[in-house]
Amino acid sequence: MGEGSHLMGTDRSDQPASPQTARTATVVVLSLAVAVVLGDAGVVTLALPEILRDFGAQVWGVAWVLIAFNLVLTLVAVPAARLCVRGDPAVATATGLVGFAAATTVCAVAPSLGVLIAARAAQAAGGALVIVGSLEMLVAAIGVERAGVRRWAAAGVAGAALGPVIGGLLTSAFSWRAIFVVQIPIVLLALPAAIALRGRVVERRRPTLDTSPDRPHVLANLALALLSAALTAALFLLVLLLVDGWSRSPAVAAVAVTAVPVAALAAGPVFRGVRAGTRSEAVAGSVMIAGGLTGLALLPGAELVWTLAPQVLIGLGLGLSVDSLTAAALRDRIPRAIHGGWTIAARHAGVVVGLAILTPIFTADLRHAQTPAEEAIARLVLDAPLPASTKLDLAEQLGRRLSAERGRVPDLRPAFEALQVPATQATAVAALERGLDDQLKRAATRAFRTAFLVAAGLALLALGPALALRDRSRS
């Protein structure tokens, strides 16, 4: 280990002469490609309710739109990195960009859930080549290993944090298919840069092929996996709670969850001045993510404002921990692409494990929430200051809504719209509608509690490997 560091930590003087603007453009388009691919891991989160309705699927089936991408990325990241190491990273990246764009096109026009899931898997395979190839190319383009790795990690964090927000806004403005349409030109922007760097990255890296590869950094990768599993909950569950549980539009939900990426991006400027070291950053990040998730499990109301402080904690934790753990996993290890592949595999394995653990928990809890919600609704209707005949009419309509949307949070508005009452009862009916809506929100919020607490537990588990890290200042 360490032998490669002097090879990779080259200064800019041995680079082929290239204009500064061309280098900057290369760095920007490659960073964008990495952000788009890693953002894809969660970009459809806010679109899931619409996909669910479009294809008439169940929550568990639609969750595979997320799981397929993350599972394939987990399995393919390291083999893709080996391809990059043996061949030319620029060629691997270009191939990945074309494959990713093609699969994304299929996603955009998918006629069924099955095709969408298969295309998402293909997207991940192409995306894996893009991510690991871009690591080598960014280091080559920037010319300084540490700066290149940090740029690569930061692009990934920004993509993962902003993905759900952008996906939600596009779903709200157009349709879930728009999420995939806009990705195609963005990733293809990096294609000329990849082709231009063909052969140059191989030349610079060739001596490292003669050295035996370092072992993966188990502790950093394990912590990354556990935190990613927890962060999945933060975005996937929170979005489902806002859209399905609290009946917010995807646009409102998208704006609401921007607190996470904004806080993640602010974490660096806010805390890096402390220069606390990798271990301290990872520990503090894990504590904040666990605390934020516990905050989401203990919401005192269904107003968006209550989710903000927990989200800020999660965002700060994300910005502190993922970046520093990725840097720790790659520091002084060769071949860099393979270790980059390990961090990607670890993060997305965490996402898959998180979804696999948390989806059954909250879907079961959502089913179990039905009985208390129905009882609360029955109690409010029985005790409402309305004539018995109005209550009977309303009970009939509500019964239809509840049985029509069994297993999901029902929309009771049609029951009230169908109710014809004299003006003297209008105030009491409106108060009852508000009361029933509040009860449904209470039941939905309660149904997500266990899943958020389990996710907080996963973040706390990350404290183990984080505490065992060798502390090194990031200065």
Given candidates 373, 415, 454, 461, which one binds other proteins under the rule CB under 8 A?
A: 373
Give φ, ψ of 420 to 5 degrees. -110, 115
Q: Which of 102, 130, 118, 116 is nearest to 39 (CA)?
A: 130
Q: Report the residue number, 203 or 375, with the smaller CB distance to other proteins.
A: 375
Q: In whole angstroms, give the CA distance from residue 57 to residue 111.
A: 13
Under DSSP, the state recorded for 462 is T
Q: Report the residue number, 37 or 366, with the smaller CB distance to other proteins.
A: 366
**Site membership for other proteins, residue 408 (CB under 8 A):** no
Given candidates 186, 251, 356, 380, which one binds other proteins under the rule CB under 8 A?
A: 380
**Site membership for other proteins, residue 43 (CB under 8 A):** no
**Site membership for other proteins, residue 291 (CB under 8 A):** yes
Q: What is the CA radius of gyration of the chain?
A: 24
Task: Name the segment binding other proteins (CB under 8 A); options: 54-62, 68-76, 112-120, 439-447.
Answer: 439-447
**Site membership for other proteins, residue 429 (CB under 8 A):** no
**Site membership for other proteins, residue 443 (CB under 8 A):** yes
Q: In whole angstroms, give the CA distance from residue 251 to residue 49.
A: 13
Q: Please report, as a single letter, which amino acid is at residue 149.
A: V
Q: In the window 308-337, what residues touch other proteins (CB under 8 A)?
A: 309-310, 313, 316-317, 320
Under DSSP, the state recorded for 473 is -
**Site membership for other proteins, residue 61 (CB under 8 A):** no
**Site membership for other proteins, residue 420 (CB under 8 A):** no
**Site membership for other proteins, residue 214 (CB under 8 A):** no
User: How far apart are CB 134 and other proteins at their closest, in Å?
Assistant: 30
Q: In whole angstroms, give the CA distance from residue 99 to residue 184.
A: 11
**Residue that is written with structure tokens 């505490």 in the block:** 467
Q: Which two tokens stand for residue 423?
A: 């003006």
**Site membership for other proteins, residue 399 (CB under 8 A):** yes
Q: In whole angstroms, give the CA distance from residue 80 to residue 133.
A: 8
Q: Dihedral through CA 133, CA 137, CA 139, CA 142, nearest 10?
A: -150
Q: Report the residue number, 107 or 443, with the smaller CB distance to other proteins.
A: 443
How many residues contact other proteins, by CB under 8 A? 53
Query: In sequence order, which residues have a C-beta less than 8 Å from that of residue 261 and are 6 or more positions away?
Result: 158, 161, 162, 165, 315
**Site membership for other proteins, residue 411 (CB under 8 A):** no
**Site membership for other proteins, residue 414 (CB under 8 A):** no
Given candidates 195, 274, 364, 418, which one binds other proteins under the rule CB under 8 A?
A: 274
**Site membership for other proteins, residue 433 (CB under 8 A):** no
Angle of helix 305-330 relative to helix 278-297, nearest 10 degrees? 150
Give φ, ψ of 162 to 5 degrees. -85, -20
Q: In whole angstroms, give the CA distance from residue 444 to residue 349.
A: 28
Q: Report the residue number, 4 or 291, with the smaller CB distance to other proteins.
A: 291
Given candidates 92, 129, 149, 288, which one binds other proteins under the rule CB under 8 A?
A: 288
Given candidates 299, 352, 412, 462, which one binds other proteins under the rule CB under 8 A?
A: 299
**Residue that is written with structure tokens 């010319």 in the block:** 143
**Site membership for other proteins, residue 418 (CB under 8 A):** no
Asked if residue 153 lies in contact with residue 102, where contact means CB atoms within 8 angstroms, the answer is no
Interacting residues with other proteins (CB under 8 A): 271, 274-277, 279-281, 283-285, 287-288, 290-292, 294-295, 298-302, 306, 309-310, 313, 316-317, 320, 369, 372-376, 378-380, 382, 387-389, 392, 395-396, 399, 439, 442-443, 445-446, 471
